[in-house]
Amino acid sequence: MPKKKKKIEARLSPIHGNGVFATGLIKKGERVVRYKGKLRTHAEVDEEYGDDDEDGHTFLFTLNDDYVVDANVGGNIARWINHSCQPNCESEIEEDAKDRRHKDKVFIQALREIKPGEELTYNYGITLDEPHTARLKKLWACKCGSKKCTGTMLQPKR
C-alpha cells in the first residue's frame, strides 16, 4: 500500500514563530492532525509550570477535567499551529467510548477548504479566571492579522 502523502509541514510563520502550512489541498471537515504530547494531570502541569512567568506561549492543551496534553514533551507538528481570530481549523476532542478519560484524544480539523500554502490556524479558546488586565491582554496578544482580530487570544468572560 502506498504511503499517504503528508498534507502539512512546519515552517516560519508571519503570525508567530513557527507555523503549520498546507502542502496539499485539505478538504472541509477533514481531520488534519492529532495533537500529541505527554498526558498529564492538571496537578502535574501546575506543579511543572505553575510558578513559571507566563510568556503568552504554551504547548498545553486541556483534554478534559482530568488531563492535559503537554506537547512540550513528546509533542508533534500540531503544537506549531498558531491561533487566529478567524481560523480555518478547529480543535475537536474525541471522547473514549468507554469513558476512560485518559484515552480521550484531540484532533485538528478543517473548518473550510484549505489550499496549499495556507497557514493552518485555530482559535486557542484561552480562558482565565482572573480579570483580563492590560498586562494579561498584552501577554496573550493576538497577531493573526485577520479583519476580525480581537487583539488577544483570551476569550471574552461569560
Average pLDDT over all residues of the chain: 90
- The range of the structural domain enclosing residue 21 comes to 8-124
Is 3 within a domain? no
Q: How far is CA 35 from CA 69, 79, 92, 132, 149, in A?
A: 8, 7, 10, 27, 24
What 3-state DSSP class applies to 72? coil
- pTM greater than the 0.85 cutoff: yes
Residue 107 belongs to a domain: yes
What's the pLDDT score for residue 64?
Answer: 93
Number of domains in the chain: 1
Domain membership flag for residue 104: yes
Let me know if residue 145 belongs to a domain: no
Query: Residue range 114-129: average pLDDT?
Result: 93
Specify the pLDDT at position 56. Answer: 60
For residue 62, being part of any structural domain is answered with yes
| Residue 136: predicted pLDDT | 86
What confidence tens digit (pLDDT) does each residue in 28-83 have? Answer: 999 999 999 999 998 998 888 875 546 566 788 999 999 999 999 999 999 999 99
Indicate whether 17 belongs to any domain: yes
Would you say residue 12 lies in a domain? Answer: yes
| CATH code for the domain of 38 | 2.170.270.10
Confidence of residue 104 (pLDDT cuts 50, 70, 90): very high
For residue 131, being part of any structural domain is answered with: no
